[in-house]
Amino acid sequence: MPSDATGSPRPDERSVLQPPATESISRVELRAVVREWTASLKEQGLPPERVLALVKSRVRETILPHVSRFADIDPDDPRHDRLLSDSSQWCIEALFEPADTKG
């Protein structure tokens, strides 16, 4: 694992952000992917602002270029703005959900 300037291990941030292995994805599935990415990065101890930046970047790199192949997403929609905005919102919601209190 790479380390930061202090010599502390740095989480492998990008490894958990794998694109879905599918040719088609719905908004519901995309939301689940964003929430999964968020949870993985959060578990690594990354600060919320870093998690959000990484998730947005990954959506921009792996989802938006292929949006016309995604189910129930109109390719004529202002897709980049809307999906990026929605993804950001889903990420923020997942970041600040109360922890499971089951014990």
80 pLDDT tier (thresholds 50, 70, 90): low
Label residue 78 left, alpha or beta by phi (over 0 means left) and psi (-120 to 50 means alpha): beta
Phi and psi dihedrals of 9, rounded to 5? Answer: -60, 140
pTM over 0.75: no
For the ranges 5-9, 19-23, 63-67, the lowest mean pLDDT is seen at 5-9
- Domains of the chain, by residue range, sit at 14-95
Tens digits of residue pLDDT in 17-55: 666 655 667 788 889 999 999 999 999 999 999 999 999
How far is 95 from 42, CA to CA, in rounded Å?
7
